[in-house]
Amino acid sequence: MSLLVVGTVAFDSVATPHGRVERVLGGSATYFSFAASFFTPVRLVSVVGEDFPDEFMAALRQRRVDLAGLARVPGRTFSWCGSYEGTMNEARTLDVQLNVYGDFSPALPEAFRDSRYVFLANGSPDSQMRVLEQVREPRLVVADTMNLWIERTPDGLRKLLERIDALVLNEGEARMLSGEPNLIAAGERILAFGPRAVIVKKGEHGSLLFSRDGGRCALPAFPVARVVDPTGAGDSFAGGMMGFLARNDLNDAAALRRAMVFGTVMSSFVVEDFSLAPFQRIGEAEIWSRYHDFIRFITV
Amino acid sequence: MSLLVVGTVAFDSVATPHGRVERVLGGSATYFSFAASFFTPVRLVSVVGEDFPDEFMAALRQRRVDLAGLARVPGRTFSWCGSYEGTMNEARTLDVQLNVYGDFSPALPEAFRDSRYVFLANGSPDSQMRVLEQVREPRLVVADTMNLWIERTPDGLRKLLERIDALVLNEGEARMLSGEPNLIAAGERILAFGPRAVIVKKGEHGSLLFSRDGGRCALPAFPVARVVDPTGAGDSFAGGMMGFLARNDLNDAAALRRAMVFGTVMSSFVVEDFSLAPFQRIGEAEIWSRYHDFIRFITV
């Protein structure tokens, strides 16, 4: 089934204990699209500037990503600069330049409005809502968010939560949004705000699912002994998860559990190297092999 | 099979966001014994002072704990005072009084020397080694440790690691002992120091198993929405785990995986109230019920 993502396509500059890269391909919609593309074709809506190189466009196209919704406008592309240290559990943002993304009001091409599976990558709740209004009959809408929106636009976020099926957010954000330091209480509370499901991403500690119809579920992260760059892990998780759901046209809580396994697998690949490099090396065989390893890893 | 624990029996004073208690029953050997006692009888070796009340002795006896190795000597009982805040993932130690435990040189009653399953709760590697020398033919020796010994007596600890079957330690200690910030790399590295298995406790994030013959395994924590007091969670985990192994006379890596589930279940009970109160309320029915809930929780 059709899978739509709206988010950033960006230049990333990243420093980690394993090295550094400058102005490589990044952005939430990019990571999501690459991860999901192994399961189903992806429609991407975003904006880049005139400085966005053709080779990056080609890299996205090579993964069958439909770029009809990727506007290229005068100005410079969104860019992010960050670093990771120690346990690498949290990025330190050194610089963000919104550039052309600052004025971006996502407009869906007519051909994208029938999308059935929709991922609203991190963005203002207002702009996420505007995307939602352009999709005719979505079967599953999942949104990401961040501390910025939890603090600045709590009302908009609460309104959005009543309109979406599932929210994905990280551990710290879940505690902040709910006001609950206990993560289980936090997840339950956010569930009460409206969505059918809440997925809490915990980096190296895996993920938690809270759902109205299917109870709760926990998954560890896939054991990666050498994390080179955690950038994009969360969006790749969402990409693997929603790619699996869209491919199999599923949206129930039981399917969400299984989908999270594929999210876990895809995010485990992406952290093994900088930018999208891991996704340019793997194929179905590597994904299934790691899937089976993971099932063994969680079986008691 | 016979299960021996050597560790502290203590007075705990604890403050958490849910309340505070003064001089309640605590100590690593106490928590371990209570948790393990639901699976098999436990032999305890420790020391208390003259101030240790009869009612605490009675509470231990009620759980079928063999107190032949619990010395009662002139002086005061080991006491610990600590607090938990926010996510409650780490205790802040406000005061420790070793008291009679400071001069404690564990001597096993003759009747305990044939113990087959041995848990060396946190203590100096020297004293842990002295216990080991008194046990004739152990089938499974598991030890706990802490940052203090990792920093102060690294050589003694490394020697101990060559003599034991498994080490349990928490996340931060694993990173410290291995010098590896990545937890998977840390576990593998500690495995190379000698033990057949390494179990990393991650509090609300569950636990990891690294083993020579059975690969790796991860378990989440049981979802507890209201953690009242995390004190003793780690020792209760070890108690549930070793209680299961001793009861079924198992020591292979596959059994260790399953045993960790019971460790997880027992630790989830103990954090729901102060001191040992939860273990004084539950029985087999509650343990099995939570076991099945947990299996559902981790099944995809």
| Residue B287 C-alpha from the chain's centroid | 18
Question: Chain A contact for B227, CB < 8 A?
Answer: yes
Alpha-carbon distance B18 to A287, whole Å? 45
Tens-place pLDDT, residues A159-195: 999 999 999 999 999 999 999 999 999 999 999 999 9
Question: Residues A289, A290, A291, A294: what is their CA dihedral angle, to the nearest 10 degrees?
Answer: 130
Alpha-carbon distance B81 to B112, whole Å? 31
Tokens, residue B225: 């929405």
Max CA-CA distance within chain A?
56
Counted domains in chain B: 1
Q: Which residue of B218, B226, B295 is in closest CB contact with A220? A: B218
Tens-place pLDDT, residues B145-158: 999 999 999 999 99
Domain that holds residue B175: 3-298
Q: Give the residue-averaged pLDDT of B52-79.
A: 97
C-beta of residue A219 within 8 angstroms of C-beta of residue A204:
no
Tokens, residue B300: 């995809």
CA closest to A260 among chain B residues: B300
Residues of B with Cβ-Cβ distance to A200 under 8 angstroms: none
Residues of B with Cβ-Cβ distance to A255 under 8 angstroms: none
Quote the pLDDT of residue A213: 84
Tens-place pLDDT, residues A232-265: 999 999 999 999 999 999 999 999 999 999 999 9
ipTM of the complex: 0.94
Does the pLDDT of residue B33 top 90, yes or no?
yes
Which SS3 state, helix, strand or coil, does residue B233 take?
Answer: helix
Across the interface, whether the CB atoms of A225 and B184 are under 8 A apart is answered yes
Does the pLDDT of residue A214 top 80, yes or no?
no
C-alpha closest to that of B51 among B88, B19, B78? B78
Rounded to the nearest 10 degrees, the angle between the axes of helix A183-192 and helix A171-178 is 60
C-alpha closest to that of B211 among B223, B226, B195, B227? B195
Tens-place pLDDT, residues A87-127: 898 899 999 999 999 989 999 999 999 999 999 999 999 99
- Pair type for strands B117-120 and A215-219: unpaired
Identify the CATH number of the domain in which residue B23 sits. 3.40.1190.20
Question: Chain A contact for B87, CB < 8 A?
Answer: yes
Alpha-carbon distance B32 to B279, whole Å? 11
| CB atoms closer than 10 angstroms to residue B213 | 10
Which phi-psi region, left, alpha or beta, contains residue B109 (left: φ > 0; alpha: ψ -120 to 50)? beta
Tokens, residue A173: 């954000």
Quote the pLDDT of residue A269: 98
Q: Which residue of A218, A223, A298 is in closest CB contact with B184? A: A223
- Pair type for strands A79-83 and A92-97: antiparallel
Question: Chain B contact for A136, CB < 8 A?
Answer: no
Alpha-carbon distance A275 to A31, whole Å? 8
